Amino acid sequence: MSSVEPPKDPVAHSAPRMMRAIVRRDYGTPDVLSCEEIARPVPGADDVLVRVLAAGVSIGDHHVVTGRPYLIRLSPFGGLPRPRNRVPGGAMAGVVEAVGAHVTTFRPGDEVFGEATSGAWAEYVLVPAARVAPKPTNLPFEEAAAAPWGVVALQGLRDAGGLVAGQRVLINGASGGVGTWAVQVAKALGAEVTAVCSTRNVAMVRALGADEVIDYTKQDFAQGGARFDVMLDLIGNRSLSDCRSVLVPNAAYVPCAGGGGDWVGPFLRIIGGLVSFPFASRRFRTFMAAPNHADLVVLKGIIESGKAKPVIERRYALHEAADAVRHVGEGRAQGQTVLQVASR
In the chain, the percentage of residues whose pLDDT exceeds 70 is 89
Integer Cα distance of 146 and 73 in angstroms: 24
Q: Residue 301 domain-assigned?
A: no
Pairwise pLDDT comparison (15 vs 172), residue with the higher score: 172
pLDDT of residue 139: 98
Average model confidence (pLDDT) across the chain: 90
Burial classification of residue 70, based on how many CB atoms lie within 10 Å of its CB (0-12 exposed, 13-18 middle, 19 or more buried) = middle
Q: Judge contact between 45 and 100, C-beta under 8 A.
A: yes
Q: Residue 213 domain-assigned?
A: yes
CA 157 to chain centre: 15
Going by C-alpha positions, the residue among 27, 150, 144 that lies closest to residue 88 is 27
pLDDT of residue 157: 98
pLDDT of residue 283: 82
pLDDT of residue 285: 85
pLDDT of residue 332: 80
Q: Residue 90 domain-assigned?
A: yes
Integer Cα distance of 298 and 332 in angstroms: 29
Does residue 227 share a domain with residue 128? no
The CATH number of residue 188's host domain is: 3.40.50.720
pLDDT reading at 112 higher than 90: yes
Does residue 235 share a domain with residue 166? yes
Does residue 234 share a domain with residue 319? no
Does residue 322 share a domain with residue 273? no
> What's the domain count of the chain?
2
Does residue 189 share a domain with residue 268? yes
Name the residue range of residue 209's domain.
149-284
pLDDT reading at 124 higher than 90: yes
pTM attached to this predicted model: 0.90
Q: Judge contact between 172 and 231, C-beta under 8 A.
A: yes
pLDDT tens track for 200-252: 999 999 999 999 999 999 999 999 888 999 999 998 888 889 999 999 999 99
The CATH number of residue 327's host domain is: 3.90.180.10
Going by C-alpha positions, the residue among 186, 189, 181, 188 that lies closest to residue 165 is 189
Does residue 243 share a domain with residue 169? yes
122 three-state secondary structure? strand
pLDDT reading at 3 higher than 60: no
Q: Residue 241 domain-assigned?
A: yes
pLDDT reading at 118 higher than 50: yes
pLDDT tens track for 153-171: 999 999 999 999 999 999 9
The mean pLDDT value for 77-106 works out to 95
pLDDT of residue 8: 53
Q: Residue 141 domain-assigned?
A: yes
pLDDT reading at 9 higher than 90: no
Radius of gyration from C-alpha coordinates of the chain:
22
pLDDT reading at 273 higher than 60: no
pLDDT tens track for 288-306: 888 999 999 999 999 999 9
pLDDT reading at 2 higher than 50: no
